[in-house]
Every structure is written in structure tokens, then in C-alpha cells.
Structure 1
């Protein structure tokens, strides 16, 4: 059984490992991530070094290069400052760098004009990008199914935002059921859009505090209607946390002065998954534009 060096770990995850007899089992394996689930149904992730930090995630050097064969349901536990995957690997956690998602502050009203200008710039760049699905569908060389799904996504999330704009929160909660799980893939486009929207509503100093509580109230219903991997990402967004590159992009969008850097950070978001990055980005932009419109 080989020992591996961890590079960084989400602060909350490390606290869980250090403060109690933490145990879990292998839930799912992919080319660059391995998911572990504990007895409460919470998901944790081992990620390749090339990925960015994220909630409940530990990044490990060399682990994925060894192409380990790890059966599902293999026990995982902590022993002697190591995260042990039974009979397969030991991951050192005693001298790991701790990571925490940064606190994101929504801009004040005096900064709205510059924020609108940056939003317009991002929209312009997105119009020049060839995307194959989800919210950023390029309508050339696409299938009838992709066009239909794109139309449905735009329609259903449009209804959701209209309900929120009119403060019809019960109707908005019902409308969520038409967005969550909408679209193909492990993390459907509708779920990813909601991740982006949640990251706006949960920013510090966000002007409409009731929307954060509305998301919290919707949590259990959302959990019922999608898979555990997709819900885990959405649940962290409801708590105001996400992958590092999403927070970096939001800070650049809110306060950056360098257009080249803003575009670079946007492209890093778009690189997430096949369409997930574009779908999350669409949710973030929709959330910001929704907020600015209500403030006019």
C-alpha cells in the first residue's frame, strides 16, 4: 500500500478528519476525482493536483497517475495522521495546506455602473465562444435535442427569476422543481445554473437577504430531486462556498480593473466539465443582472 502526499485540503474537511473517528466508503470514481460518502450522506472528494481547491476536497500528488483500481464501497478511515483507503493507499494529512473559500462581498451601489460594464464585456466574450450545450449553446451544428433543452432551460429559469423579482417565493419554490435536474449529465445544466445563482444570493452584503433564507428553505426539496454529487455542489453554494476558481472569478467581476485578467478567469470557469462551467457562469451572471435590475 503506497503512501501519498496531500497538497491542500478544505479546512472543514480537515477538521472533520482530526476531531472525530471519521469513516466513509468509496462512492464513485472518475479520471480526476474520487468521491467518498460518510454515514450521514455527506460527500468528500480526493482530487488530482491539477484541479483547484474546493469544499470538502483534498488534492493529492501523484495519486491519479498510478491508475489505482478502487472498488466502490471500499472503506475509508483516518489512522495515525493518514487518510486510509483500505488495502489501497494512505494519504498523509499532518502537514497539509488548509484552504478556505474566500468571503465574497457584493459591490455597493456606487460600483454598479462599473459592474454593469464588466457584465457587458463578459456577455460579449461569451457570444464569441463555441459552446456545445447547456445555457451557452451555439446554434450552429447542434442537434434538435440540444436546441430543445437550451430553450427549456432558458424558459424555466426565466420563470424562476420572474417569480423572485415579484417576491412570489412560494411560486418560485415550486418553479425550482422544473429547473433542478433539467438537462443531461451527472450535474444537469439546471442544477449548475442554480449553483451560480446561489453564489450570488449568498455573497456578503447582498441587498436581498430573504433570498438566502429562501434557498435554505428549499434545500430539502432540492435534495430529493437530484443526485448526491450534483446536490453536494449545490448545497455548498447555498452555504456560500464553491470551487476556488468560481470565487476568484466573482471577485474579479465585482472589483477587477484588468479586462485581460477578467477574461482569463472567465475562461477558467468555462473549463469546468463539458457544460458545467458555462451553466454555472450563466447562473452567476443572471443573479447579478437580476440584482442590478431590482436596484434600478
Structure 2
């Protein structure tokens, strides 16, 4: 018997309503995912070192290595308790409910521009290379070619977004889906950052662009990466990304460093790739005069 510490408000409500069943999809050191039979989406159970995120429940354990979880283990809810086969029972009594909510960008962007310049320089110095951030050396011709493609395609996407050419921007976004190595390819992580920024204004005008990116991603990348893109397309992202945007808008330089480091530590190069997507999305939005 284990207690949940915090979790996505919609996930918790599904447990309360006993409207959740499925099977274990994938297992990692600090998280495991299960596929919900009711809506087809992936849900994540995370250990206590992971930040809140969409479709995620954070529980009071350090890791999942010793729980004997297996792919296809049955997931079900009974009496508001989430069960994973006969191996794990998760109670939601006194769980802290969390909701993904992005801040709106300010009308006066001078401070934001200063923080953005600082963030770009910090990523250049401390970000992890090998994805969107170019590696200093390449060990194989494949790595060199992959890096070249990422540089070219992200540049084309940024240029089209800045000039509000959304039809060709969609083509370049599609060319990034699934591009790169790792569980969540660098191109996908970059798009998560871009889609996040597109959702940070009150007069959201590019809903159709976001929806089309999701449609393209369905068949072009893996299910875990697809879910991140799907959620980012409607402004639902993990807590550390939201805090980073808050720091960019209202925080001190120290706040920005603290929140940026949390993002940069996500995955291998995933955090850096997402952060660079945020940077490029903000640059495009500023160049477009806020029209994005």
C-alpha cells in the first residue's frame, strides 16, 4: 500500500470516479506508463523525485526497480484505489491536486527579452549537446548528418513562424517529428517547447496548427513522445516548464537559473531540446509582433 503525494487533477478524478482501467505499457527506473482503455491515452506513475505533469501521479517511492512490474500487468480501480495487478496499490487520500496552467505573456516584453538573451547564453554554456544543441565533435557520420538535419529544419520552422507562414511551418514541423535519437527524439522535444509557447497568449490564433502537428505525430513517432506533443498542443506541460516560463516573465536572474537547471536535467538531452524549443518559440512570437 502506497500513498500518492500529488497528481494531475483529471487523473485523480478518474480514480475517484473508478473510470480507469488498462495495462502497463512501459517501465523505467523512476516512472512507469500504462495505457488507459477508456481514452487510449498513456498515464504515468512517477516516483517522488519527478515533478508534476499531465496524466501523471507522483507517489511516495524512490524507484520502481524492486516491484516486479511487468509489461501488460493489469491496471484497475477499486474503492478509489489504483491497483497494478496484485503488486501495487496506490491510495489518493489527501493527495495534492495539480493542474497544468500556462502563464500569459506580458504586453511589455522588454524584461522578457533580457531574460531570453540570458537563457540562450546559459543553455549555450550548460545545456546538453547531441540533440538540438550541436555537439562539439561527431563520433559517426550518422551523428553529423542528424545534427545537420536538426539544425536546418529547426531554422526553417523558426523562420516560417516568425513570418506567420503557418502552412509551410507545418511542413517543417512535420519534418522534425521523430527526428533524433532517444526515447523522445530531439525533434519531438523541440516541438513540445514550440507548442507550449504557442499556447501562452489570450487570443490564441494557431489552434489548427497545433492540431495538425498532433495528427502528423500520431504515426511518425512513438507513443510516449506522441503524448507529450499531444498535451503540449493544448498547453498542458510538466510543472518545471511552467515554472521556467514564470521565471522568464517575472522572476529574478537567480529564479531563472534555478528553474532552467531543473528543465536542463530532464532526460539525456530532452530538457535542453525542450528549452531551445521555448527559446525559438518566444523569438518567433516576438519577431511576429505577438501575432503567433
The total of aligned residue pairs comes to 289
Match of residue 277 from structure 1: 271
Distance 1:277 1:180 in 2: 17
Match of residue 22 from structure 2: 24
| Aligned residues of 1:103 and 1:204 also touching (Cα < 8 A) | no
Q: Residues 204-240 of structure 1: CA distance to partner in whole angstroms, max 9, x if unpaired?
A: 326xx32233112332222121111001111111110
Distance 2:171 2:124 in 1: 32
* Range with bigger deviation, 95-104 or 163-172: 163-172
The alignment status of 1:216 with 2:211, answered yes or no, reads: yes
Q: Where do 5+ consecutive residues of structure 2 fail to align?
A: none
The two structures have a TM-score, normalised by structure 1, of 0.92
Match of residue 71 from structure 1: 70
After TM superposition, give the deviation of residue 279 of structure 1 in Å: 0.2
| Aligned residues of 1:55 and 1:242 also touching (Cα < 8 A) | yes
* Range with bigger deviation, 125-134 or 9-18: 125-134
Q: 2:280 aligns with which of 277, 286, 294?
A: 286
After TM superposition, give the deviation of residue 137 of structure 1 in Å: 2.9
After TM superposition, give the deviation of residue 140 of structure 1 in Å: 4.5
After TM superposition, give the deviation of residue 141 of structure 1 in Å: 6.8
Distance 1:65 1:126 in 2: 31
The alignment status of 1:180 with 2:191, answered yes or no, reads: no
- 1:1-296 superposed matches below 5 A: 3-39=1-37, 40-62=39-61, 64=63, 67-108=66-107, 110=108, 112-129=109-126, 131-140=128-137, 143-205=140-202, 209-256=204-251, 258-295=252-289
* Range with bigger deviation, 118-127 or 69-78: 118-127
The two structures have a TM-score, normalised by structure 2, of 0.93
Distance 2:20 2:222 in 1: 23
Identify if the C-alpha distance between structure 1 residues 84 and 130 changes in structure 2 by more than 3 Å, giving closer, same or farther.
closer
Identify if the C-alpha distance between structure 1 residues 103 and 130 changes in structure 2 by more than 3 Å, giving closer, same or farther.
closer
Distance 2:120 2:4 in 1: 38
After TM superposition, give the deviation of residue 154 of structure 1 in Å: 1.6
Distance 1:88 1:142 in 2: 43
Q: Where do 5+ consecutive residues of structure 1 fail to align?
A: none
Identify if the C-alpha distance between structure 1 residues 41 and 64 changes in structure 2 by more than 3 Å, giving closer, same or farther.
same
| Aligned residues of 1:180 and 1:190 also touching (Cα < 8 A) | yes
| Aligned residues of 1:4 and 1:63 also touching (Cα < 8 A) | no
